[in-house]
């Protein structure tokens, strides 16, 4: 008889302890808001994560939450579920009642830049943000969360997240039909499930429990769904819809629907991040990275009352390099159940669905023939000096996020093909604001192209969030159809890794959808572009830079690199003669200076030496 190694026995004991769970906490379903003029307060509050359980977490813990200002006291973690409708005019308000800056980003929403809720739309303590916009999305599960520069991870960990359900429009024949066929009764046969983890600190002297909100942890954390540890959800024995959101700041989950023995049960996937797939797909499990959403149908008709099912995290089948697997958590993460589902006798209307698969929505993927430009974005890990510290940081294209740099200028109404090349040993979920995209090609680390039919969760539906595994190249197509502006920092949308500590530390960039007005900033070869006189000296410049000209009022001076990226902007007062410019923020190399005044415009090139 062979003796098991001590290391294996220790791992087995940990695995057994983690799976010896007592699911005693009824899950909390966030309250629903149908008001187009909804009012959210960002509040400090307290929440019990384990109200029916034992141990130190059965106590009130300081948290943050989005609160329905018209119904205070209804949330102590996360936020209410918002309902949006196609072509509805929304006039929300978000009031920051914290003592630090925050934002409110509508993740997955196609909205104007000023309403996006990214780092540029800061809400200072005590202030209220009042965006107004038309809903241009149809039939999707989205979410909202803070996006303040350097604070996103902390605020999400403290509890700030909520789901958005974009309802099926009644004036679309296909989507209206699907609305009548699919479960849509919130909290009855249509349930939001937000999967997250948190680590808690327990003060041994006082027993006080707090959330560890600083960046990074590898073990001793708790899994939760809708802010509840070891939750139980009662489901009627009918056709059930589950909306899954990975709202975690770091970890991917490999989720499966199983019976008590751990064997998979039939589950039909019907939607990706941004809407319906072309048809349902029966999948044994789904790898969901931070920020991703999926929708599922469980056919529980005829299921015996009292039947127990689970949503399970199959960690052992997570690929290498994916944060949340055993290796990246020092062996702490193991296969375990995250949510207990109990079938109860609760009448539901009869479902018209008689068999699977069912056809859903024809693909709206743009044709490749419309592509006018291709872009490559590369995930790297490089050494940077930040605040006099030398740090090895994940990044995009070997640069860190700079609020005063527009990394990409995209033309309005253009269709583009983007490729995301992950040259790191860690998987990173790519998220881009403003648009939805369709994955066209994935090449793995061995140079083999994935077969789209084998990965419907990646290829068969619109997305805004996709996990790029180590060594992968993911290509997608998208159209930038509206919301064009001038090239300005505060007109930018973000793209970034949705592992929030990576984002907070600079793995992010920004782009502008350019309305095309005026000449391209790099077209200085055409002498007719400049209509006023401007002289710049010295050129090349090192420490001092002067602009000689005349402006009768305030003017704007912008600096672009030769790829058309806006790298710096200055507001100049009225002057006549030479004005000294602060050249310290300018990057080295050749730049295009674009000076726009009341009298006209001038462009020239300048070389900055360091």
Report strand pairing: 371-386 vs 389-396. antiparallel
- The answer to whether 377 and 540 are in contact (CB under 8 A) is no
What is the SS3 assignment for 464-504? Answer: CEEEECCCCEEEEEEEECCCCECCCHHHCEEEEECCHHHHH
Both tokens of 427, joined, read 């998987």
Q: Which residues of 130-161 are buried (b: 16+ CB within 10 A; e: fewer)?
A: ebebebbbbbbbbbbbbbbbebbbbbbbbbbb
454: helix, strand or coil: helix
pLDDT of residue 215: 67
Is 206 in contact with 263 (CB distance < 8 Å)? no
C-alpha–C-alpha distance, residues 280 and 298, integer Å: 12
Nearest residue to 301 (alpha-carbon basis) of 253, 251, 235: 235
CA–CA separation, 147 and 431 (whole Å): 13
pLDDT of residue 198: 96
pLDDT at 523: 45
Closest CA to 62 of 197, 146, 159, 150: 159
What distance in Å separates the CA atoms of residue 552 and residue 276, rounded to the nearest whole number? 55
The CA distance from 590 to 588, in Å, is 7
For the record, the structure tokens of 545 come out as 């830079």
Q: Name the nearest CA neighbour of 230 among 344, 336, 343, 81.
A: 336
pLDDT in tens, 226-242: 999 999 999 999 999 99
Residue 438 CA, chain-centre distance (Å), reads: 16
The CA distance from 468 to 465, in Å, is 10
The 10 Å Cβ neighbour count of residue 308 is 12
Instruction: Supply the DSSP symbol for 114.
Output: G
Answer for the pair 199, 212: CB distance below 8 angstroms, yes or no: yes
For residue 476, the cross-strand partners are 418, 439
DSSP single-letter state for residue 168:
P
Q: Which residue has the tokens 């202030």?
A: 127
- Spatial strand order in the sheet of 545-551: 535-537, 545-551, 575-581
Angle in degrees, CA 136, 141, 145, rounded to 5: 90
Q: How many CA atoms lie within 13 A of 314 on its CB side?
A: 17
Q: What was the pLDDT predicted at 525?
A: 42
Task: Count the neighbouring beta carbons within 10 Å of the beta carbon of residue 46.
Answer: 12
As a whole number of angstroms, the distance between CA 427 and CA 487 comes to 32
Q: Which of 576, 571, 484 is nearest to 113 (CA)?
A: 484
* Mode of pairing for the β-strands spanning 286-288 and 162-167: unpaired
Q: What is the pLDDT of residues 43-92, one digit of tens each?
A: 999 999 999 998 899 999 999 999 999 999 999 999 999 999 999 999 99
List phi, psi (to 5°) of 327: -65, -45
CB 327 within 8 A of CB 320: yes
Burial degree of 433 (CB within 10 A; 0-12, 13-18, 19+): buried
Alpha-carbon distance of 379 to 430, in angstroms, equals 10
- Helix, strand or coil for residue 295? strand
C-alpha span between 172 and 423 (Å, rounded)? 43
**With contact defined as beta carbons under 8 Å apart, do 241 and 295 qualify?**
yes
Q: Which helix (H) or strand (E) holds 583?
A: none
What confidence score (pLDDT) does residue 82 get?
Answer: 98
Q: Is 574 helix (H, G, I), strand (E, B) or coil?
A: coil
Cis bond upstream, residue 540 (ω within 30): yes
Beta bridge partners of 282: 268
Tokens for 147, please give them: 């996006």
CA atoms lying within 13 Å on the CB side of residue 429: 29
Distance CA 283, CA 534 (A): 64
Pairing of strands 162-167, 231-236: unpaired
User: Which 3 state secondary structure label does DSSP give 128?
Assistant: strand
Given a contact cutoff of 8 angstroms between Cβ atoms, the answer to whether 225 and 195 are in contact is yes
Residues of the chain with pLDDT under 70: 1-21, 215-216, 518-529
pTM: 0.87
In the block, residue with structure tokens 């937000």: 194
The pLDDT of residue 520 = 54
Which string of DSSP letters, residue by residue, matches 206-249?
Answer: T--EEE--SS---SSEEEEETTBSSEEEEEESSEEEEEEEE--S
Q: Which two tokens stand for residue 97?
A: 């009642």
């Amino acid at each position: 008889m062979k003796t098991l190694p001590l290391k294996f026995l220790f791992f087995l004991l940990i695995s057994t302890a983690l799976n010896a769970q007592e699911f005693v906490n009824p899950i909390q379903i966030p309250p629903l808001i149908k008001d187009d003029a909804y009012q959210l307060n960002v509040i400090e509050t307290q929440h019990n994560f384990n109200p029916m359980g034992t141990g130190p977490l059965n106590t009130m813990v300081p948290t943050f939450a989005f609160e329905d200002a018209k119904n205070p006291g209804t949330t102590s973690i996360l936020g209410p579920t918002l309902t949006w409708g196609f072509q509805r005019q929304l006039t929300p308000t978000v009031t920051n009642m914290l003592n630090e800056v925050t934002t409110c980003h509508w993740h997955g929403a196609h909205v104007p830049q000023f309403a996006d809720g990214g780092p540029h739309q800061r809400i200072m303590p005590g202030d209220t943000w009042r965006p107004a916009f038309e809903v241009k999305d149809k039939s999707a599960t989205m979410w909202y969360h803070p996006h303040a520069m350097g604070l996103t991870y902390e605020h999400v960990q403290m509890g700030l997240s909520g789901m958005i359900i974009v309802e099926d429009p009644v004036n679309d024949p296909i989507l209206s039909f699907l609305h009548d066929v699919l479960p849509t009764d919130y909290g009855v046969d249509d349930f939001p499930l937000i999967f997250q983890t948190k680590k808690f600190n327990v003060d041994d002297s006082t027993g006080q429990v707090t959330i560890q909100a600083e960046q990074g942890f590898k073990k001793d954390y708790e899994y939760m769904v809708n802010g509840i540890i070891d939750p139980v959800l009662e489901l009627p024995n009918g056709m059930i819809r589950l909306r899954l959101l990975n709202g975690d700041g770091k970890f991917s989950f490999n989720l499966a629907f199983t019976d008590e023995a751990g064997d998979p049960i039939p589950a039909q996937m019907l939607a990706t991040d941004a809407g319906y797939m072309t048809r349902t797909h029966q999948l044994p499990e789904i790898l969901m990275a931070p920020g991703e959403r999926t929708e599922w149908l469980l056919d529980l008709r005829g299921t015996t009352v009292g039947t127990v099912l689970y949503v399970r995290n199959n960690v052992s089948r997570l690929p290498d390099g994916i944060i949340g697997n055993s290796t990246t958590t020092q062996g702490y993460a193991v296969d375990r159940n995250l949510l207990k589902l109990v079938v109860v006798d609760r009448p539901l209307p009869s479902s018209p669905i008689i068999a699977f698969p069912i056809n859903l929505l024809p693909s709206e993927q743009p044709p490749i023939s419309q592509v006018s430009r291709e872009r490559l974005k590369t995930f790297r890990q490089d050494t940077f000096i930040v605040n006099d510290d030398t740090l090895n940081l994940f990044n995009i294209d070997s640069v860190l996020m700079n609020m005063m740099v527009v990394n990409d200028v995209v033309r309005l109404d253009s269709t583009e093909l983007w490729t995301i090349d992950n040259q790191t040993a860690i998987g990173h979920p790519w998220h881009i604001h403003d648009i939805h995209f369709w994955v066209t090609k994935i090449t793995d680390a061995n140079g083999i192209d994935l077969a789209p039919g084998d990965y419907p969760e990646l290829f068969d539906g619109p997305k805004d969030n996709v996990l790029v595994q180590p060594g992968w190249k993911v290509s997608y197509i998208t159209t930038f159809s509206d919301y064009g502006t001038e090239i300005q920092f505060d007109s930018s949308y973000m793209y970034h890794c949705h592992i929030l500590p990576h984002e907070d530390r600079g793995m992010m960039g920004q782009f502008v959808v350019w309305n095309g007005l005026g000449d391209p900033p790099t077209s200085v070869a055409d002498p007719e572009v400049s209509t006023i006189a401007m002289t710049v000296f010295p050129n090349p410049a090192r420490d001092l830079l002067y602009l000689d000209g005349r402006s009768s009022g305030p003017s704007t001076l912008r600096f672009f690199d030769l790829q058309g990226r806006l790298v710096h902007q200055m507001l100049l007062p009225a002057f006549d003669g030479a004005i000294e410019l602060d050249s310290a923020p300018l990057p080295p190399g050749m730049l295009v200076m674009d000076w726009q005044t009341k009298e006209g415009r001038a462009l020239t090139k300048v070389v900055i030496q360091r």
